[in-house]
Amino acid sequence: MPDLSGKHGLIVGVANKRSISWAIAQAAAAAGARLALTYPSERLEENVRELAATLDNPLVLPCDVASDQQIADLGVTLDREFGGLDFFVHGAAFAPKEALDSPFVETSRESFRMALDVSAYSLVGLTRAVAPLMEKRGGGSVLTLTYLGSQRVFTNYNVMGVAKAALESSVRYLAADLGPKNIRVNAISAGAIKTLAAAGISGFSSILQVYRDKAPLRRGVDQGEVADAAIFLLSPDSRAITGEVLMVDAGYHVVGF
């Protein structure tokens, strides 16, 4: 396991104990990092505080990623409390339920806007806010979470697939902008995992069986396996890797018909 002791990290996207971001938070803490976790609304604050209480000396801060003001406030607080930042994990995604239930062609302008704003633009806004803190540390690592639905059609994934395509493209443009500051930007494309976000996709459980039947490793993946890959991308072990989308999906993406 890479060593993250003495490092400070921001984790956005913990909703409950099944969240992929929570598995990454636990692995980063086990590797020695001190963390800030965020919650998007009062409804989720208690969940996040309860989980954070199991970590060593965490910060728990509000951040609705659809709010420029809350993103700016988060940057100021992190700077004051941590004096810089070494890594940032972006695990926020949202699309209105109706956009995941109806045919893609029915996607409304507002659903499209909201999905792209929360699930893709937020990486740009948050990375801009934390980049100066990473510069103070001589560089940093930004990591987001994506899905193969960015490139292929998965029933009901719909506008979230479009948002993931924008997210992955944003990873490449951010990597090009921030590379000269030694800030790396990567994504993990995870296999399907049963989480709160996944529960919003109708027919999701049938996708899980497809992984067991078709993936080269004949199984799905779990949060801990994504977290292990994440720690590699957050640590100096991956110091020459940026602009990359790493597939952590039991090999499912290589399979054709």
Ligand X SMILES: NC(=O)c1ccc[n+]([C@@H]2O[C@H](COP(=O)([O-])OP(=O)(O)OC[C@H]3O[C@@H](n4cnc5c(N)ncnc54)[C@H](O)[C@@H]3O)[C@@H](O)[C@H]2O)c1
Compute the distance between CA of residue 39 and CA of residue 170 in angstroms, rounded to an integer.
Answer: 23
Say if residues 212 and 222 touch (Cβ distance below 8 Å): no
Residue 50 tokens, joined: 């309860």
Q: Which stretch binds ligand X (CB under 6 A): 50-58, 71-79, 172-180, 192-200?
A: 192-200
| Residue 225 binds ligand X, judged by CB under 6 A | no
Residue 218 per-residue DSSP state? S
| Residue 14 binds ligand X, judged by CB under 6 A | yes
| Residue 195 binds ligand X, judged by CB under 6 A | yes
Q: How far is the CB of 11 from ligand X (least distance, A)?
A: 10
Q: Which stretch binds ligand X (CB under 6 A): 63-71, 96-104, 130-138, 177-185?
A: 63-71
> Which residues fall within 8 angstroms of residue 232, CB to CB, at 6 or more apart?
2, 238
CB closer to ligand X, 142 vs 197: 197
Compute the distance between CA of residue 77 and CA of residue 8 in angstroms, rounded to an integer.
Answer: 13
CB closer to ligand X, 4 vs 187: 187
Phi, psi of 87 (to 5 degrees): -150, 160
* Single residue of 11, 20, 95, 178 touching ligand X by CB under 6 A: 20
* Single residue of 65, 100, 187, 245 touching ligand X by CB under 6 A: 65
Question: Is 39 designated active site?
Answer: no
* Single residue of 45, 94, 135, 222 touching ligand X by CB under 6 A: 94
Q: Tell me how far apart the terminal alpha carbons of the chain are, to the nearest angstrom.
A: 36
Q: Which stretch binds ligand X (CB under 6 A): 59-67, 72-80, 131-139, 233-241?
A: 59-67
Identity of the residue numbered 123: L
Beta strands in the chain (DSSP E): 8-12, 34-39, 59-62, 87-90, 140-146, 183-190, 245-248
Say if residues 164 and 114 touch (Cβ distance below 8 Å): no
Question: Is 147 designated active site?
Answer: yes
Binding residues vs ligand X (CB under 6 A) = 13-15, 19-21, 40, 44, 63-66, 91-94, 118, 145-147, 190, 192-193, 195-198
Q: Which residues are catalytic?
A: 147, 157
